[in-house]
Structure formats: structure tokens, C-alpha cells
Amino acid sequence: MKKLKNIKILAGDDKTYNNVRLPFEEKSLNFFNELSNKISNYKHIEKYPDLSSVAFFCRKANLINFKNKYLDNNQIRIGRGLVFHIAPSNAPTNFLYSLIFGLLTGNSNIIKISSKNYDQVKIICALINELLKNRYKNLNKFIKIIQYDNSQEKVTKEISQMSDARIIWGGDKTVEKIKKFEIKPNAVDISFADRYSICVINSKKFLSLRLEEKKLLVNKFYNDTFTLDQNGCSSPHLILWYGANLKKVKEIFWSLLANVVKKRYNLIESAAVNKYMLLCKSLMQNNNIKDLKIYNNSLYTLSIKKLRNDVTNYKGQWGYFYQYQIKNLKELKKIDTKKIQTLTYFGFKKSELKKIILNYQLKGVDRIIPIGQALDLDFIWDGYDIYSFLTRAIDIK
């Protein structure tokens, strides 16, 4: 047990432990299920779509699915020990997903979260503390959620030296900075660096939808993108349109989205200014832009002339999308790079998408999921099987 100095503890024990348990213990499953209920019943949850998402994820029924998938009676696995989580600054609820991964794999957890003043963080930490002080006191030593300034490198170094694993979220610069601090020789790092995501839509299938179905799909797209202002690594920046009648399809889709944005999205003044500056910069410096449409301050679309692997540099924020028409799914090969993380889709069969991956052995694309699920984290993320990384396999013959 060790007490860290110069940190702010938001939830959990003030001491640091290195205890291990078996994965998916009932107490942990029940803890997250109660937390799910408390988050779902928060009186202002409608203001925070990401709270609803994480509450849905950590309900027991969902976690049992992971348990059934991973637990194998023929193999013994146990937690690695102390896991140091460095949460990103652009996704307020990400730290809870990371805690779920760490606790359910049987580990003690220290979670460093951003110093940004997110309401979601305060809400979740208050509810966690409430549970830990009552029915789940025995889990207290497995959870420590902290804040400290990034300039306090001594704290990062100290925790790293104690850790048996690190989960580093937040992009290339964060990964490079954290990795300079050594960990134990047999410890493991899971690093989530900068990634880029895209979306592909079958125009014929979209046009065949009833109006209410179109609106539902557009709302799902909104959740994938505007929830985190397109800052999430899995939020698409480039929309690929496949099929005929594309002028009509795009006009319907973007107009419906503009209506959703008008009702649901609050574009703050500073973001509006930065977004316009980003647009001006793109138009002046990028010779691959052929068309621009501004639906309102909250929604820009830019059509590109050619599909090439430098499109991973075409990033928007606050409702700023690039788009391109493809003739077939084979064109994904043109943008194949390890930077591509998530491909969201509508109007295609899973078998069609699987065939593209297998036939062309793409270096990128770690996730292929329907529109509306871009922000849904999973134990398999960025090509890592987090369960396997955070547990030790014990061989008995």
C-alpha cells in the first residue's frame, strides 16, 4: 500500500494497491449494474447522450455477454495487478469504460483523468463514491480515480514504475510522452494513438427507407459525430457515397441532419470561429476540394476530387464533413493506412464488407460497425483484445 502525493482523488481509496482477482467476478458485475441504474436515473441525463451510452454499456446483461465470450473453463486467467489508465481529454466518459475493462479483468486500477471540468466526470465519480461507501466497500481498494497537472511528471513516473499494465488514451503525443516513463520489465502497454474514421452509405438503400427511417438513421449519425464534436477517434470525418442518384441522396441526408443539428446541437461562439477558420484554411491549402456547401453554422460539407491515402489529414470538428462518391467498395484500398480505425456503414451486408478485408488484407480498419455505434467501446478496440492484454494466462498440464 502506498499513498501518492500531489494528486486530487475524485473516487476510490487514497492508498494504492496491487491486488488481483479473477475476471468477471459477480461483485464487480453487480457494482457496474447498480452504477448503470444510478446513471440512467440521473435527473438531467437528457443533456448528456454519452452518459446514456455508458450506462447502457455497463448494465449487467451486456457485461454478461462479455463474460460468456471470454471465460473458458479450460483456461485459467487472472488479473495482471495494477493498471494505470491515462484517459483522454476529449471524451468525458471514456475513463469509465477504461475502469470497466480494468476491474472486470481482475485488476487494481489508477485512472488519471483530464483536468477539464466535465459535468459527466463529476456525476459518475459521485455515484461511484456513493456505491463504494455502502454496499461495495471491498471494491474500494481496486479503484482510484485521480487528477493532477500534466506538468507533474514525477507522479506519472512513480505510478508507471508500480504498474503491471498501462492503457494510454489520447493520441500520438500523449502516447509518446507517457511511454518515456519506464514500467516493469514484464508489464504491458496498450496505446491508443491518433486514428481516423470513415462512413460508407449505400444510396439506393437509403432512398428506399421511409421518411421516419431516414430520420432515425440521421439521428444515429448525429450521435456518432456531434456527441463529441467529431473529436472521438471513431467519429467519421469522411463520408463515402455508393450508388446512383447521389445528388438527391446527399441533399436529403444533409438537410435532415441540419434539422437534427438545429434542434439538438449547441455550437458555442469560439467553436464557430475556429470552424470557419478551419474551413478557410482547407480551401486555401487543399487543392483536392471541388465543392462546398454550408447548411448552417453547425454543418459544412466539402466534396473532394480524388480518394487518396492523405485523406486521413482531412479532419473536421463541430459538424464539418468531407465526402466522396465511390463506384465500389474496392476503392477503400486507395485510402488503406494504419491510421484508419472505424468504418461505419449503412446498406451493406456484413459478408460484403468482410470480403473486402479478406481479399485486400487492408492494413487499416479495425472496426466495421453500423451507423450509430461508432462511440460504443468494446473489449476489442484498435485491433487490441484488451481482455487478453490485462489478464495473465496460467498454463497447467
| CATH code: domain of residue 167 | 3.40.605.10
Tally: H helices and E strands in the chain: 13, 19
In a domain, 393, yes or no: no
362 vs 367: CA distance, rounded Å: 12
Q: Point out the residues of the chain with pLDDT beneath 70.
A: 1-3, 73
User: Treating both helix axes as pointing N-terminal to C-terminal, what angle do 246-264 and 211-225 enclose, rounded to 10 degrees?
Assistant: 60
One domain for residues 19 and 89: yes
Contact 272, 225 (CB under 8 A): no
Q: Are residues 328 and 245 in the same domain?
A: yes
CB 341 within 8 Å of CB 234: yes
Domain that holds residue 11: 2-194
What is the number of other CB atoms lying within 10 angstroms of the CB of residue 115? Answer: 12
pLDDT at 26 (0 to 100): 96
pLDDT of 288: 86
The pLDDT of residue 397 is 81
Spatial distance between the Cα atoms of 358 and 342, rounded to a whole number of angstroms = 16
114 with 139, same domain: the answer is: yes
Helix residue ranges, H only, 41-196: 49-57, 60-70, 94-104, 119-133, 153-162, 172-179
Do 184 and 203 share a domain, yes or no?
no
Retrieve residue 4's grid coordinates.
501518492
Same domain, 190 and 202: no
Residues 216 and 172 in one domain: no
Name 108's bridge partners. Answer: 82
**Entry pTM:** 0.86
| Residues contacting 321, CB < 8 A, separation 6+ | 225, 236, 237, 238, 239, 299, 300, 301, 302
Counting Cα atoms < 13 Å in the Cβ hemisphere of 205 gives 11
- pLDDT confidence of residue 230: 84
Q: What's the confidence (pLDDT) of residue 1?
A: 53
Cell output for 202 = 449505400
> Can you tell me the distance from the alpha carbon of 312 to that of 340, in angstroms, rounded to the nearest whole number?
7
105-146 per-position pLDDT tens digit: 999 999 999 888 899 999 999 999 999 998 899 999 999 999
The CATH number assigned to the domain holding 298 equals: 3.40.309.10
Whether residue 122 is found in the same domain as residue 106: yes
Spell out the residues 6+ positions from residue 249 whose beta carbon is closer than 8 angstroms to its own.
201, 203, 206, 207, 241, 243
pLDDT number for residue 159: 93
Cβ partners under 8 Å of residue 109, min gap 6 = 82, 83, 85, 99, 102, 103, 142, 143, 144
Number of domains in the chain: 2
C-alpha cell at 299: 454543418
Report if residue 378 sits inside a domain.
Answer: no
185 and 227 in a common domain: no
Which residues are paired to 367 by β-bridges?
A: 342
